[in-house]
Amino acid sequence: MHMRLRRSTPGLPAVAATLLLLVASLVGSAIPAAATRAAAAAATPAAPAAEPWWRHAVIYEIYPRSFQDSNGDGTGDLNGIAQRLDYLQQLGVDAIWIAPIYPSAQVDFGYDITDYDAVDPMFGTLADFDRLLGEARRRHIRVILDMVLNHTSDQHPWFLDAARSGDSRYHDFYVWTAGKLDAAGHRAPPNNWVSLFGGSAWEFVPAVGEFYYHRFYRQQPDLNWRNPEVERAMFAAMRFWLERGVAGFRLDAVTELFEDAKLRDAPPLGGTNAQGDPNLSDIYTKNLPEVHDVMRRLRAMMDTYAGERVLIGETYLANTTDLDAWYGGARHDELQLPMDTLVGLGNRLDADTFRRRLLESQTELHHSQPLLVFDNHDNVRSWDRFGDGVHDAQIARIVAALLLTAPATALLYQGQEIGQRTATPTRVEDVRDPLGIRGWPRDKGRDGERTPMQWDGSNAQAGFSTTPHTWLPVTADYRSVNVQSEAADPESLLNWYRRLIALRRNNRALREGRMVMLDTANASVLSYARVSTDGETVIVSLNMSPQPQTPSLDLAQAGLRSSHPRTLLSSPGPLPHGDAKGPVSLPPYAVWIAELR
């Protein structure tokens, strides 16, 4: 890729920009790309200064390989996403995050990028992307792209040049070392670091007589963020898409950008991981303080664009205090939405754990907005993580209610809203994910949560494709678990999500109210109130146990006015005494959402 360093394009007047975008959407690439990018940047809808659009948004992750195949090749694409925008609008989402669509060697299914300024032909063209952007904008849906800052593909032109000679212009774009000599006098890696995807984190290149570092696959060499040229080049790549009109970026593996400059050995933790490597501390390879300087500069660059562009972080961290640093703490000058994976990516439906984590998100983030996530393309689906095999459908409604009524921005993953299950391969021969191939059987990879979206029962591909040879097989339950059948069923999980999203959008307390925990000693039921500034109050009570429960909702003790509750939503079915003045009895795995009148 030719490295292009860009400056922000001055905006056009808003009316002219909007007209230019409309014409661009009709004629595709006939309008010069630079003019289209400038128009897109100027025409991005401006959110009120006090409440940026992302603060109460529902963001929907799309794994493009598996969302909708428009051309019958078995792989999803950009035009397929465009075909399903009406569905996303009806669901009520505010933005879509699309996993990488850039040209890639496809070792890690798009997360090994060979060109940051283009679209991989398997997904379409830049013209297809621009049309998708325009169609989404007309439906008031913003588009967020995945951006991989930590590493490139080893087939990226930068690395191909870097690996030819130590004198290459791009050699210092990556992390290199001569290593050390072992006891036999042979060249060896400089330390004991291992790749998260198995084996040593160091790969020797005879042509230059050095090792390069790779936190992930060996085909994903880490960029050297201590080199200012790397920052300039990567910021330029992001400007390319910002000037086309994207609403922001989800930053992949952003906690891994820096490594210990002294390359010290990682302390061992004991035991081995799924790949058979020793478990090591990541103290020298993750969450180093230097990354926050980069994030502040990145945020400052993003803030030069109109339309409240947003930075979302893939932030798997040990505690909420670490998460606070990614917002910039009290300065609020880094990421707007680092993912709070502590709340939603656990494995136990436990009221005490959720209560503790939610309280932390309200008290330890300097009033920053949490971003809750229960499902994504890297984790077993919440249906399977929290389900007990008997009450899975009821538990899925609890997960949805918690995600959409807590005071946080909400992130959905395609298929979550219809109860799509994890389809873990049963034979190593069927595994596509290299992580599962290497880690089998202890780690079976991530294919199970990446299977095609189930749209209808029209064919054996669930309406995802017209070919039987889809890149991953459709799960066997597609005839009953699909959008078409659930849309027609008022009591389906899909319609439960739709009602929750609509309630969240239209109810002031759920949209902007503070959270007050209720019945805090109850180990079975999570209950809280959302209270708006004018006193409008909504009660949420979630029974996370297989036994009936009667929570103690002492509103007066919590400083709330005690009044007659009116049920807004409940599951399973109407709850007895839901509108009564007295205690509410919750069936097993019940949801009760009520407003105080």
Q: What is the pLDDT of residues 411-438, one digit of tens each?
A: 999 999 999 999 999 999 999 999 999 8
The domain that holds 224 is classified in CATH as 3.20.20.80
pLDDT at position 421: 98
In this structure, the answer to whether residues 385 and 534 fall within a common structural domain is no
Q: How much is the average pLDDT of 524-532?
A: 96
Answer yes or no: are the C-beta atoms of 197 and 216 closer than 8 Å: yes
CA distances from 83 to 73, 132, 378 (A): 16, 9, 25
Q: Residue 297 is encoded by which pair of tokens?
A: 């500069």
Q: Which of 252, 308, 433, 595 is catalytic?
A: 252
Residue 212 lies in a domain: yes
Q: What's the pTM value of the predicted model, to 2 decimals? A: 0.91
Domain containing residue 421: 315-506
Over the stretch 463-505, which tens digit does the pLDDT of each residue have? 999 999 999 999 999 999 999 999 999 999 999 999 999 999 9
Question: What SS3 class is residue 500?
Answer: helix
Poorest-pLDDT segment among 214-218, 527-531, 534-538? 534-538
CA atoms of 317 and 322, how far apart (whole Å): 6
pLDDT at position 581: 54
In this structure, the answer to whether residues 547 and 577 fall within a common structural domain is yes
In this structure, the answer to whether residues 201 and 330 fall within a common structural domain is no
pLDDT at position 559: 81
In this structure, the answer to whether residues 399 and 459 fall within a common structural domain is yes
Over the stretch 545-572, which tens digit does the pLDDT of each residue have? 999 999 998 888 778 876 788 999 999 9
CA distances from 23 to 26, 45, 61, 264, 442 (A): 5, 18, 28, 57, 53
Residue 302 lies in a domain: no
pLDDT at position 592: 97
Is residue 62 over pLDDT 50? yes
Is residue 363 over pLDDT 90? yes
Is residue 197 over pLDDT 70? yes
Q: How much is the average pLDDT of 290-313?
A: 98
Is residue 36 over pLDDT 90? no
Tell me which of 438, 473, 506 is where a domain ends: 506
pLDDT at position 216: 97
Task: Using pLDDT thresholds of 50, 70 and 90, give the confidence band for residue 50.
Answer: low
Rg of the chain in Å (alpha carbons): 25
Q: How much is the average pLDDT of 38-43?
A: 42
Task: Using pLDDT thresholds of 50, 70 and 90, give the confidence band for residue 3.
Answer: very low
Q: What is the count of structural domains for the chain?
A: 3
252 tagged catalytic = yes
Q: How much is the average pLDDT of 248-276?
A: 97
**CA torsion through residues 9, 13, 16, 19, sign:** positive
Question: DSSP H helical segments within 243-309, as ranges?
Answer: 290-302
In this structure, the answer to whether residues 517 and 471 fall within a common structural domain is no
Residue percentage of the chain with pLDDT more than 70: 90
Tell me which of 444, 479, 506 is where a domain ends: 506
In this structure, the answer to whether residues 265 and 334 fall within a common structural domain is no
Over the stretch 345-361, which tens digit does the pLDDT of each residue have? 999 999 999 999 999 99
In this structure, the answer to whether residues 328 and 449 fall within a common structural domain is yes
The domain that holds 543 is classified in CATH as 2.60.40.1180
Is residue 576 over pLDDT 80? no
CA atoms of 442 and 434, how far apart (whole Å): 13
In this structure, the answer to whether residues 190 and 229 fall within a common structural domain is yes
CA distances from 35 to 40, 132, 239 (A): 9, 17, 14
Q: Residue 293 is encoded by which pair of tokens?
A: 């300087």
Q: How much is the average pLDDT of 94-103?
A: 98
Residue 194 lies in a domain: yes
Q: What is the 3-state secondary structure (H, E, C) of 105-151?
A: CCCCCCCCECCCCCCCCCCCCHHHHHHHHHHHHHCCCEEEEEEECCE
In this structure, the answer to whether residues 499 and 567 fall within a common structural domain is no
User: What is the pLDDT of the chain when averaged over all its residues?
Assistant: 91
Q: Which of 146, 243, 277, 314 is catalytic?
A: 314
